[in-house]
Amino acid sequence: MKILLITYYFPPCGGAPVQRWLRFLPLLIERGHQITVITSQGGDYPFIDESLCEKIPPAVNVIRVPAFKMASLWQKFSGSGGEIPYGKLPEERKGLSRLLIWLRLNLIIPDLRVFWNPKALRACFIELSRKPYDAIITTGPPQSTHLIGLSLSKRLGMKWFADFRDPFSQIHYLKLNPPSRLSMAVYKYLEKKVISSADLNLVVSGAIAEALPEGRKLVIHNGYDPQDFAGIEYTPAEQMRIKYIGQFTQGQDIGLISALCSALNRPYSLSLIGSKIGAKEEAQLRMIASDRLIVKPFVPHAEAVREMVQSELLLLIVNDYEGNRGMLTTKLFEYLASRTPILCLSADDTAAARIIQECQAGKSFGYQQISKAAVWVNQLQTGTRMQGDILSYSVEHQIDKLNIALRS
């Protein structure tokens, strides 16, 4: 089957946005599919990780379409000097910055990356005129990428799969920063149009699938790749190494980590790996952990995986917002594969908490149960490795489901 995959995020972009399809591509090729990727060039990326380019299978044809870089304009007009928002919006909003956030939420719908669409759509038409394809796949966020699929499907009548790594109108930063009622109606209209028009919608969790409008849906988890962990053996440490791997996005309270550390009565170190945090947040943690705090803003993916294995406890904080039940981050499945005990802080009955319990991979506690969480951590034996059954969350298992859907 010849597939055209359209994704804004692709190596050398680093971080969570690229991991799902970077894992899927080699296995899809093994199953006989031919894949061309149309992606952005020089876009607004959360991280750059050149090492990930080595994971792109040689058989994959990659077409890079220049993207207008919004970061420089954001810094110029906001006067903040900060980076363009990714997964969260600035908490302190004054003057022009506040106006820009309002414009972004209410007029630039569904997201800032929509300005890449015209060039990307043109590149898609050129490629589709050169040779035939059996199907197109769009993946988001950014959810604006699905509008490219909608246009291609409508004008060419092609088979189209829309892949949702996060909710659309119910995404956490819209829940925490509600746009106007009229603007939200536009978000919901586009969401409904995409879901109903796609031949099949691929969704990362059952709860997110249930919350999306009516349409054909199939749950395909992100999964973990056992090859990422091959040859990495855990080495015990004298004290508990507590680590949070990845970014902090809106709705994740870093104060929960401070409260947890305050309640511990055992030697520990605390590491934030690949986390962009402000001076205020770092000072807050430093007051508790002092010189036991280690902050690494970014590391290549392979190093992040090693950090997961070389730990005694991994922290997972589910974003606190209405509708967070289905939120499943890529790192959860890598946490599972590391076999390191997981401490999950979330609301009741989230998909993440259920998977951790199902796989006997650690413990979940509510946001208000930090004292109980600390008791569990204090009692956790150093060197504990989790031995639950995680096979159903391997990327191989997910690809088997996806392969059947592609060929049906």
| CATH classification at residue 305 | 3.40.50.2000
pTM: 0.88
Q: What is the DSSP letter of 94?
A: -
For 67, 76, 159, the CA distances from 120, given in Å and listed in that order, are: 9, 26, 18
Do the beta carbons of residue 112 and residue 84 sit within 8 Å?
Answer: yes
Q: 281 with 315, same domain?
A: yes
Tally of structural domains, the chain: 2
Domain that holds residue 278: 226-389
10-32 mean pLDDT: 95
What pLDDT, on the 0 to 100 scale, is given for residue 104?
84
Q: 144 with 249, same domain?
A: no
**Band of pLDDT at residue 75, cut at 50, 70 and 90:** low
91-108 mean pLDDT: 74
Q: 125 with 11, same domain?
A: yes
Assign 3-class secondary structure to 103-160. Answer: HHHHCCCCCHHHHHHHHHHHHHHHHHHHCCCCEEEEEECCCCHHHHHHHHHHHHCCEE
From the centroid of its chain, how far is CA 10?
13
Tokens, residue 189: 């209209």
Query: Lowest-pLDDT range, 78-92, 145-159, 178-192?
Result: 78-92
Q: 38 with 99, same domain?
A: yes
Q: 268 with 134, same domain?
A: no
Residue 56 pLDDT greater than 80, yes or no: yes
Q: 194 with 307, same domain?
A: no
Q: 75 with 211, same domain?
A: yes
Task: Please report, rounded to a whole number, the percentage of residues in the chain having pLDDT higher than 90.
Answer: 77
Residue 92 pLDDT greater than 60, yes or no: no
Query: Lowest-pLDDT range, 63-72, 228-237, 304-313, 374-383?
Result: 63-72
Q: How many C-beta neighbours within 10 Å does residue 166 have?
A: 22
Do the beta carbons of residue 36 and residue 65 sit within 8 Å?
Answer: no
Indicate left, alpha or beta for 274 from its phi (over 0: left) and psi (-120 to 50: alpha).
Answer: left
What pLDDT, on the 0 to 100 scale, is given for residue 276?
81
Q: 382 with 400, same domain?
A: no
Q: 54 with 139, same domain?
A: yes
Q: 166 with 272, same domain?
A: no
Q: 173 with 279, same domain?
A: no
Q: 285 with 342, same domain?
A: yes
Task: Kindly list the strands in the beta sheet with 342-345, ordered across the sheet, starting from the edge strand earlier in the chain.
Answer: 293-296, 268-273, 240-245, 313-317, 342-345, 362-365
Residue 13 pLDDT greater than 80, yes or no: yes
